[in-house]
Amino acid sequence: MKTKKRENGKTRKACPRLIGWESEEVGKGGPARLPIVMLCVSRFIWFSLLPMLLVACASGRQETYQDLLTQFEEAPTPEYYRVELAKEVRKPETDEPAETDAFLSEVEAKVLKFQKEWEAQLESENPIPEAFYDFGTPQRKAYRQLATKAEEAKTRLAEAVDLDLLLALGYEWNPKLKAARLKLRATLEQYPQAVYLDNVLRQYNAFTKQLDTKIGKPRHKEMMAMKFPFPDMLSLKGQVVTEDAQIAQREIEIVLRDLVTNIRLAYYDYLFINEAIGINGENQELLRQMIQIAQAKYRAGIGKYHSVIMAQVELSKLSDSIITLEEQRETIIARINTLLNRPADAPLGMPQPLDPEEVALPLADLYTLALKRRQEIQKQKLTISKMNLMVQLATRMAYPDATLGASYFEDRMKLSTGTAKMPPTFFTQRTLNPANSAWFGRRNAYIREVEIKVDAMEQMLKGIEDMTRFAVKKHHFGLETAKRSIALYRYTLLPQAQQAIDAANIAYQAAQVDFLSFLDAQRTLLKFRLEEQRALRDHRHHLAQLEQAVGQVLPKQPMKLTNEEE
pLDDT tens digits, one per residue of 404-416: 555 544 444 444 4
Question: Alpha-carbon distance 128 to 121, whole Å?
Answer: 8
Highest mean pLDDT among 9-13, 56-60, 78-82, 154-158: 154-158
Tell me the HSE value of 463 on the side-chain side, using a 13 A CA sphere. Answer: 6
Residue 97 has pLDDT above 50, yes or no: no
Domain layout of the chain by residue ranges: 2-82, 105-134+174-430+444-558
Residue 117 has pLDDT above 60, yes or no: yes
Question: Alpha-carbon distance 154 to 511, whole Å?
Answer: 56
The CATH classification number of 105-134+174-430+444-558 equals 1.20.1600.10
- CA dihedral sign, ordered 550, 552, 555, 557: positive
> Helix, strand, or coil here: 206?
strand
> Which spans in 410-559 are helix H?
444-488, 494-509, 515-550
What backbone phi and psi angles, to 5 degrees, belong to 490? -70, -40
Which of 137-146, 183-192, 209-218, 515-524 is predicted with the least confidence, judged by mean pLDDT? 209-218
Consecutive H or E run containing 242:
helix 233-300
* pLDDT, average across residues 320-342: 95
Question: Is beta strand 556-558 parallel, antiparallel or unpaired with respect to 219-228?
Answer: unpaired
What is the per-residue burial (b if ≥16 Cβ within 10 Å, else e) of 156-188? bbeeebebbbbbbbbbbbbeebeebbeebeebb
Consecutive H or E run containing 357:
strand 357-359
- Count of CB atoms situated within 10 Å of the CB of 291: 19
Which segments of 169-297 are extended strands (E)? 205-207, 219-228
Question: What are residue 357's DSSP bridge partners?
Answer: 558
Residues 6+ apart with CB under 8 A from 294: 303, 307, 308, 311, 515
Question: Alpha-carbon distance 497 to 370, whole Å?
Answer: 42
pLDDT at residue 308 in the model: 81
Contact indicator for 390, 405 with CB cutoff of 8 Å: no
pLDDT tens digits, one per residue of 257-274: 999 999 999 999 999 999
Percent of the chain with pLDDT over 70: 65
> Which spans in 75-189 are helix H?
79-86, 102-123, 138-146, 150-158, 163-173, 175-188
